[in-house]
């Protein structure tokens, strides 16, 4: 399909200029040159690399003592951008053990020490991005929101 001049594309003689490139501009481009001596062509593959975009879902999770929790690290990037590596942290410290390199972090038998901030750090080449989520405890031994509100009123 021929490339036409438009709001973001300009043909400047033998040069194709694309402004504000996006991932949708990725693809194979073919340049065809011809004169009285004949015709020749060349192909170029353009891969637009978007920065890593990382999100942890859910961003806030409340679990009862003894329950289970699961966080998922969602990585948005170009499919041809190369392999990425995921590392999970809790309160700034890397989590040990098997399965921590995966996109899903599962915590079984939640106890008080498990509450805190969880971080998914994603590396792809020289690019790094991260996102965080919080694990809160609910259930026995913790005040409900209404009791906290009542106590706040009494203290004020």
Convert the pLDDT of each residue in 49-63 to its tens digit: 778 889 999 999 999
**The model's pTM:** 0.62
Model confidence pLDDT, tens digit, residues 78-127: 656 678 889 999 999 999 864 456 899 999 999 999 999 999 999 888 88
Domain boundaries, the chain: 9-46, 53-138
Contact 56, 122 (CB under 8 A): no
Topology of the domain covering 53-138: Immunoglobulin-like (2.60.40)
**Mode of pairing for the β-strands spanning 38-46 and 53-57:** unpaired
> How much is the mean pLDDT over the chain?
83
């Amino acid at each position: 399909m021929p490339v036409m001049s438009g709001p973001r594309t300009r043909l400047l003689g033998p040069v194709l200029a694309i402004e504000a490139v996006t991932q949708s501009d990725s693809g194979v481009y073919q340049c065809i040159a011809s004169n009285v001596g004949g015709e020749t062509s060349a192909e170029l593959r353009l891969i637009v690399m978007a920065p890593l975009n990382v999100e942890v879902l859910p961003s806030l999770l409340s679990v009862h003592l003894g329950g289970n929790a699961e966080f998922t690290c969602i990585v948005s990037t170009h499919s041809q951008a190369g392999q990425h590596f995921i590392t999970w942290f809790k309160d700034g410290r890397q989590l040990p053990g098997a399965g921590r390199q995966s996109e899903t972090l599962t915590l079984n038998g939640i106890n008080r020490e498990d509450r805190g901030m969880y971080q998914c750090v994603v590396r792809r080449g020289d690019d790094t991005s991260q996102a965080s989520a919080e694990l809160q405890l609910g259930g026995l031994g913790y005040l409900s929101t209404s009791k906290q509100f009542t106590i706040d009123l009494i203290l004020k």
